[in-house]
Every structure is written in structure tokens, then in C-alpha cells.
Amino acid sequence: MNKGFVRILLGLLFYGVLSTISAQSVETTMVNTGKRPVVLVTNKETPEKGINKLRLKCDVIFPENHPATRDEILELAGQVDGIMWVGHMLLNGEVLDRGGSRLKAISTMSAGMDYVDIDEFRKRKFPLGYTPIVLNDAVADSAIGLMIAAGRRFHEGRLAIDQSQWTGGPQWMLGQDIKGSTVGIIGMGGIGQTIARRLKGFEIGQLLYTGRRPKPEAEALGAKMVPQAELLQESDYIFIAVPLTNETHHLINESALAKMKRTAVLVNVARGDIVDQKALVAALKNGTIFAAGLDVTTPEPLPADDELLSLPNAVVIPHLGSATVQTRDNMAEIAALNVLAGIAGTPMFSPYPY
Ligand SMILES: *[C@@H]1O[C@H](CO)[C@@H](O)[C@H](O)[C@H]1NC(C)=O
Ligand SMILES: *[C@@H]1O[C@H](CO)[C@@H](O)[C@H](O)[C@H]1NC(C)=O
Ligand SMILES: *[C@@H]1O[C@H](CO)[C@@H](O)[C@H](O)[C@H]1NC(C)=O
């Protein structure tokens, strides 16, 4: 069947699910409260698609400032029934305390939840939603882009042009091959698997992954689970696609980098703190590894004078993984549906499994 057609069919199905669920939430909400609930959306630039979903059944308020201050958000939290939490500001018990008994539900507009104090939500059994899955394709696309850009020295090549150093020649600016290479994916969740599917077209040699337990989906993609040390030693390209937790904090440190091939390319589309950035800078400077492609850094935003940005073999982009029009629209719509369902006391479209 035509791929475009399948895409449209899936899109319609997805939209159908969204509409059905929101229709259910409407009735419950309206019947239960008798007046329109109020929802705080913490960022004024949240896509209209999501805001409009909320407005069908709720009044929507925003902080005055852009970006909003924490004080402002805490102040408004006490005046609303639900919050759409847009951005990576710490979401913790303080927000729930300030929300008080009126606040019924919160949904983030992200897949990674490292900025959320999950324990606090679990303790209070407070309805919490998030937006995984819809961003897998966009994030995987940017991972592949970083793989090629770093492996083929796009940034260094551009710098050479800027500095009138375009010499050319058969040995100039040579990069690493992808065909036949060994690729290691740290974290074979939705994003890791989507990267693996993208790689099918590149005729890579071997696909390795690490994780807590073997995943049938990964094996179906021809991936082989190995201990982390083996993945680090064998891989020509290494993708980081795990959530940031206490266990994965600085997972890629000096010893991990020392295990990698000198020709290795490291790609991080997860969270900056999974990599010990100081150790990475050292490794990129002295040839411990070949190059890195980073969508995420420590801190964010990265200051313009950070040493990482002075390295020709570091391709750095400003956390653009899910930044496409369609993806952000979908994320906003799902977050809105989560909040509506939470306020109505019904199961969220995409609850966080705490
Ligand atoms: C993670 O580490 C922080 C600080 O080191 C600690 O406060 C927190 O309880 C830890 N969380 C878990 C889930 O272990
Ligand atoms: C790197 O992390 C590993 C695993 O957590 C740890 O055993 C090792 O001591 C760390 N190495 C450095 C140099 O921090
Ligand atoms: C590069 O620097 C790191 C960190 O200082 C060190 O562990 C490593 O041995 C050095 N490697 C080379 C090839 O000089």
C-alpha cells in the first residue's frame, strides 16, 4: 500500500482517538462542576492546537511573563483546576502544595520526566500525564542527522570555509563510514527502536544495545543485547536514548569514553547530564573519540563561551529533537487531553506510569 496513504490513515485514526476521548471528558467535566474549570498553561507559546482543545471545555490562563517566572506559576497554581506544564522547570511537591485542593491534574508536554519529582506524585496519587511516543520519529530523525553531521565533519568543514582553509584534496576532511559499521544504542525504548528502524536503510553491519532486559522488539530489528562495556568497545556509532535517572547520570564518564574506539562517534539526544561533559570535552580534544553530535547539553541553554562550542568535532544543536510543527502540535493536544481527563476524574490519554 502507498505509504502516504497509510500515514493519512494512521493520522485519521490518531485524530479519531483524540476526539473521542476529549468528547468523553467534556460531558463528565460539565456535568460534575456545573461551571467551566480553569487551566493554567505555563508557557504562552504553547501550540494553539492544544490550547483550543482546552478551550472547548475550560477557561485557559497564562502567566504574564515569557518565559514565566516560578513565583508567577506558583501564584497561579492556587487558582486553577489543572495545569499544562510546558518546559523543563522543576515540577515538585511545592507546586502541588500551592495548587491546594482545587488542583486536580497536571500534564507535562514532554517525554523525559527528569525535572519532575515523581516520588511526590506517587505518594499523593496525583494525576500526572506526559507525552511520549508522538515525538519518537522527530527525535530519531535528529539523531540520524547528528550521526551524519558528526561522523562526516559537517561543522569542522563549515569552519574551514569560514576561515578560508578550504584546501580540498584526497586526504582532506575524511569522515567515518556508516555502511558496514557497528552501531550501539544505549536504551532501546521507543526512541532507540525508531533510530534502529531508520538505520535499516544505511546497511550497517551490526546493531548492539544495552538495557535492563532483552526486548523482543529490538531482537526483531536484528539488534543484539550486550553488556555496556562491550557496546562501548565495539561500536563505531553510539546513540544515547535512555531517560536521565540517578542510574544514568554521568553514565558516559571518563572511563566509559576511554573504552570507546578512537574513531567512535557519540550521539546524545536524551539528556545532557547522562554525559560527563567535562570528560567528553577532554576526550574530543585529545582524540580519545572521533566526534560527538549533541542535541542536549549541560547546562541548557549552553553559554556561548562554553568550551564545547569551540571544538570542531562537536556538532551541537539547541535541544531541537521534538521541534517540528506536527510533533509539537501533537504533544500539545495530548497534554491538553491529559489535563481534561484528569480534571474530569477519568483516566488520562497518556498517564505517567509512576
Ligand atoms: C537521586 O539522587 C538524589 C540526590 O543524589 C536523591 O535526593 C534522590 O532521592 C535520588 N532519587 C532516587 C529515586 O533514588
Ligand atoms: C564511571 O562510571 C562507572 C560506572 O558508574 C564507575 O564505575 C567509574 O568509577 C566511573 N569512572 C569515573 C572516572 O568517574
Ligand atoms: C585524553 O584525556 C583523558 C582525560 O584527561 C585521559 O583519560 C586520556 O588518557 C587521554 N587520552 C589520550 C589519547 O591522550
Distance 248 CA to ligand 2 centre (A): 11
Burial of 101 (0-12, 13-18, 19+ CB in 10 A): exposed
Around 337, how many Cα atoms within 13 Å sit in the side-chain half-sphere? Answer: 25
Give the number of the ligand closest to the Cα of residue 276. 2
What's the pLDDT band for 10 if we cut at 50, 70, 90? very low
Strand ordering across the sheet containing 128-129? 59-61, 38-41, 82-85, 105-108, 128-129
What is the rounded average pLDDT of the residues 31-54? 89
The catalytic residue positions are 319
Q: What is the mean pLDDT of the chain?
A: 93
| Cβ 335 vs Cβ 108: under 8 Å | yes
Say yes or no: do domains 38-111+327-344 and 136-162+174-316 share a fold.
Answer: yes
C-alpha cell at 88: 523543563
- Return the SS3 of 299: coil
**Where do we find the cell 577532554?**
282
- Does the pLDDT value for residue 18 go beyond 80? no
Q: Which atom of ligand 2 sits closest to the CA of residue 256?
A: 1
34 vs 205, more confident: 205
- Does the pLDDT value for residue 79 go beyond 60? yes
Q: How many CB atoms neighbour CB 174 within 10 A?
A: 9
pLDDT for residue 138: 98
What is the rounded average pLDDT of the residues 211-223? 95
Give the number of the ligand closest to the Cα of residue 245. 1
At the topology level, CATH places domain 136-162+174-316 in: Rossmann fold (3.40.50)
Q: Which atom of ligand 3 sits closest to the CA of residue 287?
A: 13
Which of 247, 216, 254, 202 is CA-nearest to residue 232? Answer: 254
DSSP track, 47-109 = -HHHHHHHHTTSEEE--SSSSPPHHHHHHHHTT-SEEEE-SSS-B-HHHHHHHTTT--EEEES
The set of protein residues with a Cβ atom below 6 angstroms from ligand 3 is: 254, 258, 282, 286-288
**Where do we find the cell 553559554?**
303
What is the rounded average pLDDT of the residues 26-35? 50
4 vs 52, more confident: 52
Distance 186 CA to ligand 2 centre (A): 16
What's the pLDDT band for 14 if we cut at 50, 70, 90? low
In testing the pocket of ligand 2, which one of 253, 254, 276 has its CB within 8 Å of the most ligand atoms? 253
| Cβ 245 vs Cβ 273: under 8 Å | no
Distance 315 CA to ligand 3 centre (A): 20
Atom 4 of ligand 3, residue of closest alpha carbon: 282
Burial of 12 (0-12, 13-18, 19+ CB in 10 A): exposed
Say how far apart CA 248 and CA 220 lie, in whole Å: 26
Q: Which atom of ligand 2 sits closest to the CA of residue 276?
A: 14
What is the rounded average pLDDT of the residues 122-151? 98
- Does the pLDDT value for residue 22 go beyond 50? no
- Return the SS3 of 252: strand
At the topology level, CATH places domain 38-111+327-344 in: Rossmann fold (3.40.50)
Tens-place pLDDT, residues 269-327: 999 999 999 999 999 999 999 999 999 999 999 999 999 999 999 999 999 999 999 99
What's the pLDDT band for 35 if we cut at 50, 70, 90? confident
Distance 255 CA to ligand 3 centre (A): 10
- Return the SS3 of 183: strand
Distance 110 CA to ligand 3 centre (A): 36
Q: What are phi and psi of 174, to 5 degrees?
A: -75, 140
Give the number of the ligand closest to the Cα of residue 254. 2
Tens-place pLDDT, residues 83-107: 999 999 999 999 999 999 999 999 9
Atom 4 of ligand 2, residue of closest alpha carbon: 251
The set of protein residues with a Cβ atom below 6 angstroms from ligand 2 is: 253-256
Say how far apart CA 69 and CA 87 lie, in whole Å: 12
Query: Where exactly are the structural domains of the chain?
Result: 38-111+327-344, 136-162+174-316
**Where do we find the cell 573519540?**
289
Which of 23, 79, 51 is CA-nearest to residue 344? Answer: 23
